[in-house]
């Protein structure tokens, strides 16, 4: 893919005409249970990643769809009382979209690595490894990778999607729907709280002073979920990733009925409640919090740029 002769999103809108220019290169990864996949190719000659996924079926209208909204119904297994069939949903005026697309365009090398199928390995990050390997890695993390975060915080992008904003240079934050959620199915509700102040790069940087802000994030997320979506607080899973993909502090807020997929597993997700509790149990000195002193176990894909750095450090100390 030649970036020098290509045009990019600044010259073209993302529309059907642009999709018509898609030149498929390869499938980066796919999920056989959801049928979703990440495709790599170009749009107008510029590298692009397309995440393609069927939209979730709406449970409130499915009874009616099954009753009278199907065509070409084909039973391919009859082993009474067990049947299996294929069908097509009739297209009617006002049909819900049946495909959800997410596009990264132009896609960078790091995006391609992140969404490529890859083997994963477990690491145990001691505070020593954190300081000798992870801190220099975070220092070298290109500031441009955080541009989307500051665009949201500054109100330049997604302004109409903000569900809550507390403006305060010290403990301000916003809550908005995550990119992962298309806002069609409540079961898949996925929000994100993003703090205003830069500098809390990961949960290792949290101190006791942050506890009131973390509790306020929890309180406001619960309020927004109830008032906007009718979801009680007991139906929310709130967690923080370690390692995260982006080093600007944020909290994931997800419906507990959402199938616990990759980002919600042990080895990456830490409950907000647990993090608050660990901070409350910590001594006052910021460098002495339990989060600063503990060893974190986590899983990294072998394509992650941190992977070879940690692997080398671990091998050398063995």
- Of 130 and 298, the one with the shorter C-beta distance to ligand M7G is 298
Question: x/- site string to ligand M7G, residues 178 to 197, per CB under 6 A?
Answer: xxx-----------x-----
Count Cβ atoms below 10 Å from residue 69 Cβ, excluding itself: 17
CA–CA dist 251, 243 (Å, integer): 13
- Of 250, 258, 270, 304, the catalytic one is 250
125-29-16-108 Cα dihedral, nearest 10 degrees: 40
Pick the closer one to ligand M7G by CB: 172 or 301.
301
Minimum separation from the CB atom of position 114 to ligand M7G (A): 7
Sheet holding 23-30, edge to edge: 23-30, 37-43, 46-54, 99-104
Rule CB under 6 A: say whether 263 interacts with ligand M7G.
yes
| Separation between Cα atoms, residue 137 and residue 7, nearest integer Å | 31
Residues in the chain: 318
* Minimum CB–partner distance for residue 90 and ligand M7G (Å): 33
Q: Annotated catalytic, 86? A: no
Nearest-approach distance from CB 166 to ligand M7G, in angstroms: 17
Q: How far apart are the first and last CA of the chain?
A: 41
**Stretch near ligand M7G under the rule CB under 6 A, chosen from 8-16, 40-48, 173-181, 303-311:** 173-181
Distance, C-alpha 170 to centroid of its chain: 25
In this complex, which beta carbon is closest to ligand M7G, that of residue 205 or of residue 208? 205
| Binding stretches for ligand M7G (CB under 6 A) | 148, 158, 176, 178-180, 192, 241, 244-246, 250, 252, 263
């Amino acid at each position: 893919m030649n970036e020098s002769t290509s045009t990019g999103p600044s010259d073209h809108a993302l529309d059907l005409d642009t999709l018509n220019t898609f030149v498929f290169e390869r499938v980066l990864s796919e999920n056989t249970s959801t049928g979703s996949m990440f495709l790599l190719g170009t749009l107008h000659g510029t590298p692009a990643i397309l995440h393609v996924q069927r939209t979730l079926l709406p449970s409130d209208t499915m009874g009616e769809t099954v009753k009278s909204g199907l065509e070409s119904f084909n039973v391919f297994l009859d082993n009474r009382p067990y049947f299996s069939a294929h069908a097509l949903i009739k297209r009617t005026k006002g049909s819900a979209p049946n495909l959800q697309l997410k596009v990264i365009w132009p896609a960078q090398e790091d995006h391609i690595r992140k969404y490529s199928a890859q083997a994963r390995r477990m690491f145990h990050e001691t505070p020593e490894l954190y300081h000798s390997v992870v801190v220099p890695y975070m220092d070298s993390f290109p500031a441009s990778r955080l541009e989307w975060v500051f665009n949201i915080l500054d109100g330049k992008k997604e302004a109409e999607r903000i569900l809550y904003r507390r403006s305060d240079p010290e403990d301000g934050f916003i809550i908005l729907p995550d990119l992962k959620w298309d806002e069609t199915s409540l079961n898949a509700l996925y929000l994100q709280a993003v703090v205003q102040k830069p500098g809390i790069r990961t949960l290792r940087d949290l101190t006791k002073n942050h506890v009131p802000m973390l509790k306020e994030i929890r309180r406001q997320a619960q309020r927004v979920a109830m008032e906007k979506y009718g979801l009680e607080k007991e139906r929310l899973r709130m967690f923080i990733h370690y390692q995260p993909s982006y080093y600007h502090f944020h909290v994931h807020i997800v419906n507990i009925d959402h199938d616990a997929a990759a980002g919600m597993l042990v080895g990456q997700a830490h409950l907000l409640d647990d993090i608050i509790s660990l901070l409350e149990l910590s001594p006052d000195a910021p460098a002495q919090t339990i989060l600063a002193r503990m060893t974190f176990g986590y899983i990294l894909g072998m394509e992650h740029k941190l992977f070879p750095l940690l692997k080398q450090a671990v091998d050398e100390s063995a």
